[in-house]
């Protein structure tokens, strides 16, 4: 079986920040599995740690 990378689904109005419940602007997919949703504010606040974890970031399209 070959591994294929799937691009996560686009963020919708129903997607909410895992920290504060605001509209999600960024989906962070962690390399060991799982994902986190952040509003723009919390994505900026946690960007250094997400980079350390080698998370893949997907921003909402406007």
Q: Is residue 2 part of a domain?
A: no
> Does residue 30 lie in a domain region?
yes
Q: Is residue 1 part of a domain?
A: no
Provide the residue range defining the domain that includes 57: 13-62
Number of separate domains in the chain: 1
DSSP E strand stretches across 1-62: 26-29, 35-38, 56-59
pLDDT at 61: 80
CA dist., res. 55 & res. 42, Å (int): 15
Question: Does residue 24 fall inside a structural domain?
Answer: yes
Q: Are 15 and 46 in contact (CB under 8 A)?
A: no
Q: Does residue 46 form part of some domain?
A: yes
Write the pLDDT tens digit of every residue in 4-44: 567 788 999 999 999 999 999 999 999 999 999 999 999 99
């Amino acid at each position: 079986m070959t591994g294929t990378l799937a691009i996560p689904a686009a963020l919708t109005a129903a997607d909410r920040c895992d920290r504060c419940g605001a509209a999600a602007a960024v989906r962070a997919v962690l390399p060991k599995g799982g994902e986190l949703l952040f509003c723009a504010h919390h994505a900026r606040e946690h960007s250094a740690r997400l980079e350390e974890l080698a998370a893949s970031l997907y921003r909402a399209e406007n």
